[in-house]
Amino acid sequence: MRIGMIGAGALGLYYGALLQKAGHDVHFLLRRDYQSIISNGLQVKSPRGNFMLSDVQGYRRVEEIGVVDLVLIGLKAYSNDQMASLVAPLVGPQTVLLTLQNGLGNEEVLARAFGAHHVIGGVAFLCCNRGEPGVVNHLDQGAVRLAEFADGLTERVIKLSDLFTSASIPCEACADLQKIRWEKLAWNIPFNGLCALTGLSTDRLLSCPEMVTLIKQVMFEVVAAANSQGLSEAIDADAFIQRLLDVTAGMGPYKPSMMVDRLENRPIELEAIYGVPLERAKTVGMPMVRVAMLHALLMVSEVSTREQGCQVMADKAAVE
């Protein structure tokens, strides 16, 4: 399969590397790692086995890739205003657009631009980060769940799930996209936000009983809001939340993506992970009070972080 990888962060590089290793024709849109990967290849370090791709098809401009069978989108959701223009040169009549982005509202952006029939949504539970240029560190997890944006469980989704699984990416084909998106939010909303605000990794949060209580309260809010969205099947809050906590405890000292983005003075995915879910919950009369508080704290601290980052850059430029 000819695959275009848009959004070559840790997620995009890791999954793209596994797909190429499995024999697929993968084309990466690269930015900051371009020169290193083109010159030296792409290295994946993983407890499941390290490997090196010495020959990677990387591009600075998406127009150089051409039409593909599958566009795999790993962009940060705050870049969605650029998504349609980045994806357009890759789309033909049969091209599948798969977004593995966080939060809600990403599939709608693609559907408005290219038509709902092109779009599949997915969630990835992946512990992965970027090391030095051209190196991806896979720490734990990695399973993906996929579902159609416009239809239920289709043969197309099943075949795509099988393709991922055959590339050593555990994958499940699902019938309800909204359900799997909200289930991922039940983890993303508390852990991304609280880790970003405190600067503490997940294991540090779980070592504090009072923090565990707060995490559970936030998770229950998210699950209650999810179950008000007309899901195909309600989420069993108690069992599901305990499973999330157990999995997180096994991940060790993990730094979620929002925490990493904040530490590196990058924007964070506020709208997709907090703003849109809050609005959808409000629409059906299910206000999420603790989630709204997290959102507000992240918003005000984001302004402060941006200002500090700009000042650091200005000071550096003045010295140089």
What is the set of active-site residues? 184
Determine how many CB atoms are found less than 10 A away from the CB of residue 198: 13
Write a three-state SS string for 153-220.
CCHHHHHHHHHHHHCCCCEEECCCHHHHHHHHHHHHHHHHHHHHHHCCCHHHHHCCHHHHHHHHHHHH
Could you give the CA distance from residue 141 to residue 143 in angstroms, rounded to a whole number?
Answer: 6
Contact 242, 263 (CB under 8 A): no
Secondary structure of residue 26 in the 3-state scheme:
strand
Alpha-carbon distance values, 108 to 121, 175, 228, 258 (Å):
10, 17, 20, 22
Q: Cα angle vertex 127, ends 121, 130, to 5°?
A: 100
* Structure tokens that stand for 215 in this block: 């995490």
* Structure tokens that stand for 37 in this block: 């990967």
